[in-house]
């Protein structure tokens, strides 16, 4: 069979194919086939994430919050963490997409899109520190790339945004944005709203995520709740973790829900719940939700998986996908190291022996976060 001339596909077919190109790397490869393919799909197809507030508010289907076994409701209000809430929050000024990927099966990087078409910032996927050792020009088409997960950076005037998640996840039209701000406050913006609305001022949350097509949030007791965008209320979905940890992170993997619970060397205060003077991490526990029985099951080993807890993104990676790492069953997270140190502010927790320390104290673990020789040789 002879070679096919893919450049001769009809324009209407190219347009149809382009509608299914959601990832930036797939879009770049699509546009690199030939001139006709490049003109059929503009680079802004997946790069323009500045919100257009004129779009009509879309109606969302009513979510099904049922779980097979009824769960008790636990009050998550902590009077010590009560804070004043602003009666008015401006709309998001911009949303920037970020992508965590593995390049050439050796380097784990986070690429943050810029307002310049086709330009990225290369940053550490855990500490969000810019990586300056890479060359100024890097052609991503020269290396095999595996996309691990995506996240979003949302900017709001007069608010310190810790994390943002959007719905729908696979569409260019942003319909809803859920934002976690300092002091654990939740803000919601729906396309067409004149300003962001606060979900509740009685609950304080540690993390947010998208799970099975709906917004979820976990409070400081470990109770996961759905965020109903219609009523602006939270609806309890799970019992609390009740493990004694002081900060919870949500991890969604293969439609399974996990919670990573951190233990500190001292209590986290309401005056400084998220600041740079946070206490040091001394232990972790991992839990997986058993939806059939409505309970949390402690996971004592990750086997050949690595759990990454970043400032915005939390995700698992199989060790077989990273030739630059020879140790699994670990948690990588932002530690206490100085920003200018060689560790790039990353610490490691070994679930096997419960050891914790800088990534530099674990031989063979830091290679995947550093530029390999084949990057810097040119």
Q: What are the domain boundaries of the chain?
A: 10-46, 47-56+89-369
Query: Tokens standing for 361?
Result: 């104290």
**Which pLDDT value is given to residue 57?**
32
Task: Give all strands of the β-sheet with 295-299 in edge-to-edge order.
Answer: 247-253, 256-264, 281-290, 295-299
For residue 135, pLDDT beyond 90: no
Integer Cα distance of 159 and 352 in angstroms:
40
The pLDDT value recorded for residue 118 is 63
Question: What's the token pair of residue 287?
Answer: 């839990």
- Residue of higher predicted confidence among 271 and 72: 271
Cα 103 to chain centroid distance, Å, stands at 19
Residue 210 tokens read as 């998208």
How confident is the model at residue 337, as a pLDDT? 57
Query: For 268-291, what is each residue's pLDDT tens digit?
Result: 655 445 444 567 899 999 999 999
Residue 250 β-bridge partners = 259
- Give CA angle at 247 (246, 251), nearest 5°: 145
Residue 8 phi, psi dihedral angles, 5° rounding: -95, 10
Phi, psi angle pair for 207, to nearest 5°: -160, 160
- CA dist 218 and 237 (Å) reads 10
Write down how long the chain is: 378
In this structure, of 78-92, 103-117, 260-274, 310-324, the range with the lowest mean pLDDT score is 78-92
User: pLDDT digits over 182-223, tens only?
Assistant: 888 899 988 888 888 888 767 789 999 999 999 999 998 999
Average pLDDT score over residue span 156-184 = 80
| Sheet arrangement for strand 355-358 | 314-318, 305-309, 330-334, 346-350, 355-358
For 273, which DSSP code? Answer: S
* pLDDT greater at residue 237 or residue 14: 237
pLDDT at residue 173 is higher than 70: no
More confident position, 146 or 180:
180
Would you say 226 and 65 are in contact if contact means Cβ atoms under 8 Å apart? yes
Distances (CA, A) of 315 to 143, 162, 257: 22, 17, 11
Nearest to 99 by CA among 52, 147, 47, 28: 147
DSSP track, 26-78: HHHHHHTS-HHHHHHS-GGGTT-----TTSPPPP-PPP----SS---------
Bridge partners of 120? 113
Is residue 285 within 8 Å of residue 294, measured between CB atoms? no
Residues 6+ apart with CB under 8 A from 228: 63, 234, 235
| Phi and psi torsions of 305, nearest 5° | -100, 155
Q: What is the DSSP string of 287-323?
A: EEEETTTTEEEEE---TTEEEEE-SS-EEEEEGGG-T
- The C-alpha atoms of residue 173 and residue 301 are separated, in whole angstroms, by 39
pLDDT score at 300 = 94
pLDDT at 54: 32
Higher pLDDT: 48 or 97? It is 97
Q: To which residue do tokens 């084949």 refer?
A: 374
Exposed, middle or buried, 39 (CB in 10 Å: 0-12/13-18/19+)? exposed
């Amino acid at each position: 069979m002879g070679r096919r001339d893919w450049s001769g596909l009809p324009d209407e077919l190219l347009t149809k194919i382009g509608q299914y190109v959601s990832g930036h790397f797939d879009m770049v490869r699509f546009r690199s086939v030939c001139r006709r393919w490049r003109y059929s799909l503009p680079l802004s197809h997946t790069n323009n994430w500045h919100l257009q507030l004129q779009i009509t508010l879309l109606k969302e289907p009513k979510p099904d919050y049922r779980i097979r076994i009824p769960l008790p409701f636990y009050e998550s209000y902590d009077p010590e963490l009560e804070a004043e809430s602003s009666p008015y929050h401006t709309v998001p000024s911009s949303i920037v997409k970020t992508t965590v990927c593995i390049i050439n099966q050796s380097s784990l990087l986070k690429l943050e899109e810029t307002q310049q078409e086709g330009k990225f910032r290369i940053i550490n996927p855990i500490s969000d520190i810019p990586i300056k050792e890479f060359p100024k020009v890097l052609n991503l088409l020269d290396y095999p790339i595996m996309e691990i997960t995506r996240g979003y950076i949302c900017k709001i005037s007069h608010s310190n945004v810790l994390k943002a998640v959007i719905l729908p996840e696979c569409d260019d039209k942003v319909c809803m944005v859920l934002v976690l701000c300092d002091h654990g406050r939740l803000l919601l913006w729906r396309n067409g709203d004149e300003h962001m609305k606060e979900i509740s001022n009685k609950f304080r949350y540690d993390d947010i995520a998208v799970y099975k097509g709906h917004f979820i949030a976990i409070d400081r007791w470990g109770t996961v709740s759905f965020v109903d965008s219609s009523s602006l209320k939270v609806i309890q979905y799970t019992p609390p973790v009740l493990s004694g940890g002081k900060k919870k992170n949500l991890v969604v993997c293969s439609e399974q829900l996990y919670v990573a619970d951190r233990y500190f060397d001292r209590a986290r205060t309401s005056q400084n719940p998220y600041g740079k003077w946070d206490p040091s991490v001394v232990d972790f526990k991992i839990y997986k939700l058993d939806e059939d029985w409505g309970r949390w099951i402690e996971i004592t080993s990750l086997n050949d998986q690595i759990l990454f807890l970043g400032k915005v993104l939390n995700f698992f990676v199989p060790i077989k996908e990273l030739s630059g790492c020879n140790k699994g069953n670990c948690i990588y997270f932002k530690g206490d190291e100085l920003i200018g140190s060689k560790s790039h502010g990353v610490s490691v927790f070994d679930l096997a022996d419960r050891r914790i320390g800088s990534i530099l104290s674990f031989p063979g673990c830091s290679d995947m976060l550093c530029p390999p020789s084949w990057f810097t040789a040119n």
